[in-house]
Amino acid sequence: MDVDTILKTALELGASDIHLVTGHVPMARIHTVMTPLDYPVLTPEGSVRILEQMARQESMTQFNKIKDADFSYEIPGLGRFRVNAHMQRNTVGIACRAIKEKIPPLKVLNLPEVIARLTYLPRGLVLVTGDTGSGKSTTLAAMIQEMNQRYYKHIITLEDPIEYALHSSKSTIEQRELGADTPSFASGLRHVLRQDPDIILVGEMRDLETTAAAITAAETGHLVLSTLHTVNASQTVERIIDMYPADQQNQIRSMLANTLQAVISQTLFKRTDKKGMVPAVEVMLCTPAVRNLIRENRAFEIPNVIETNRAMGMNTLDNAIAELYFNGMISREDAVAQAAFPDKLERMLAA
């Protein structure tokens, strides 16, 4: 069974993800729905052959050592994929995320206008958060591309693996992949300040060392963009603080209050008005009021500040979901299911 043929079929059907699991037919996620593809059931030997076809030698070495590997795979003329290979029930499983070849411009992503304004920031920390598959990488790539076409700057990305291939326009862009170009996010960040960057993209702030290095880079006058797997702005602030030992948390609250510029939290919905997906986006901008709440350990009050500053471009997740529903883009069932406060949203939709 040829993996390129399977992936081509899935892309033609509009799949975002393809799952190749031993003992099952290949499956594709098409507009959030897991859909079987018209191919035979994968055998243990077939899954291993597919993995060996897709993975580079260093990825195979990692897989054989720890039973997990993340890498990218490209089919020339068709597209790129972010791949996770893993073991399950003593057989190989492979998950592939399709990555568009062309970076969509911000204006076609149905994102709030304020996100385009964030690309003019000279320094600080901007976080894009959300569940896996919520469009974080696409939003970040579109923001980088916007700056790439406007500024003569030096942009360095640290990714695991490289997803969108960024091509230098006015800016000079370097993309470093974990494993191939640097051993870890933390290691890459420790050395990146010696490379004279203006803008730094960190694929994910996944541990204390990476988070501390990203905040330090933002403190030293760089614009740092990164992601976290959190669902809203207040949870994002709390997650960062909680990474630190208790005796360091007051210090990091002060550092975060000084460096954080914005948190963008995304949730993707299946559209009801036409084919495709649309994001609901919570936006928190770091006004003096928000900075004070972070310093004073009152992140739980952040939703109130967002609610009362909508004129500035801020928006809560539930308000963003309600707007999509009232504009006829998503179903009521999906809106309530993904709301931060379902009961409150139900009353809002019934009003």
Beta bridge partners of 97: 17, 82
Structural domain spans, the chain:
3-99, 106-350
Q: Is 269 helix (H, G, I), strand (E, B) or coil?
A: strand
Q: How many residues does the chain have?
A: 351
Nearest-angstrom CA–CA distance, 180 and 308: 46
pTM over 0.85: yes
Residue 291, token pair as written in the block: 């900075």
Q: Write out the two tokens for 162.
A: 């490289």
User: In the CATH scheme, what is the code of domain 3-99?
Assistant: 3.30.450.90
Q: In Å, how far from its chain's centre is CA 183?
A: 21
Question: What totals of helices (H) and strands (E) does the chain contain, helices first?
Answer: 14, 13
At residue 174, the 3 state secondary structure works out as strand
Choose the CATH number for 106-350 among 3.20.20.70, 3.40.718.10, 3.40.50.300, 3.55.40.20: 3.40.50.300
Phi, psi of 14 (to 5 degrees): 85, 25
How confident is the prediction along the chain (351 residues), in pLDDT tens digits per residue? 799 999 999 999 999 999 999 999 999 999 888 999 999 999 999 999 999 999 999 899 999 999 999 998 999 888 889 999 999 999 999 999 998 778 999 999 999 999 999 999 999 999 999 998 899 999 999 999 999 999 999 999 999 888 888 999 999 999 999 888 999 998 999 999 999 999 999 999 999 999 999 999 999 999 999 999 999 999 999 999 999 999 999 999 999 999 999 999 999 999 999 988 999 999 999 999 999 999 999 999 999 999 999 999 999 999 999 999 999 999 999 999 999 999 999 999 987
The four Cα atoms 99, 102, 107, 112 give a dihedral, to 10 degrees, of 20
**Rounded to whole angstroms, how far apart are CA atoms 335 and 302?**
22
